[in-house]
Structure 1
Amino acid sequence: MSLQFIGVDPESGQTGSPTFWVDETSGDIIAQSYIADDATRAECIEKNAPGHDKTIPAGETVIRVPAHMIQILREACDAAERAAVR
């Protein structure tokens, strides 16, 4: 595995820094971000994808990515797409 750093939340200071990387081997996007609060998690469970259990499976969580990081997320998507093509 080789992670390519894409970007960090420029508004987060030195702590609590949402960050994106791309696994250059698999093309997966790796995200560090804020754990969604209980109300958000509950709504995600309530409005889960049709045909899926209304749970958040073990090994998964709901994260919140700040809206001002959308451009960094787009860059991660582009880098992941390039890595997946290799």
Structure 2
Amino acid sequence: MSVVFVGVDPSSKNGESATVWLSTETGELFVQSYRATDEEIRECKEAGSGPGHSTEVPPHETIIRIPVSVLQILQEACSASGPHLG
């Protein structure tokens, strides 16, 4: 798999960088960010999920919190993913 760096949270401190990468083969995004707290996970579960989907988080998945300052980087990554799917 070939992965390219897309961007890092411009407001983050050293060692605490929300970061986004893009797979040039699949168009999938990889995001490094803050783990959601137990309270945030509980609130997500209370908010519900789509029909036919459980609000339980499987052991191989997690909920992350993405800072608002990273949303533009995610938009750039989504825009860039199209041409890479070839």
TM-score relative to the length of structure 1: 0.89
Match of 2:75 in 1: 74
Unaligned runs of 5+ in 1: none
- The one-character-per-residue Cα deviations of 1:38-75 (angstroms, maximum 9, x if unpaired) are 11111212212222123001211111111111111101
Mark the runs of 5 or more structure 2 residues left unpaired by the alignment: none
Match of 1:60 in 2: 61
State the SS of the aligned residue for 2:6: strand
Q: Number of paired residues? A: 85
Deviation at 1:36, TM superposition (A): 0.8
**RMSD of aligned alpha carbons:** 1.2
Q: Identity percentage over the alignment?
A: 42
| 8 Å Cα contact 2:20/2:29 also seen in 1 | yes
Q: 1:25 Cα deviation (Å)?
A: 0.8
Q: Secondary structure at the match of 1:45?
A: helix
SS at match of 1:71: helix
Distance in 1 separating the partners of 2:82 and 2:40: 29
Distance across 2 between alignment mates of 1:18 and 1:35? 11
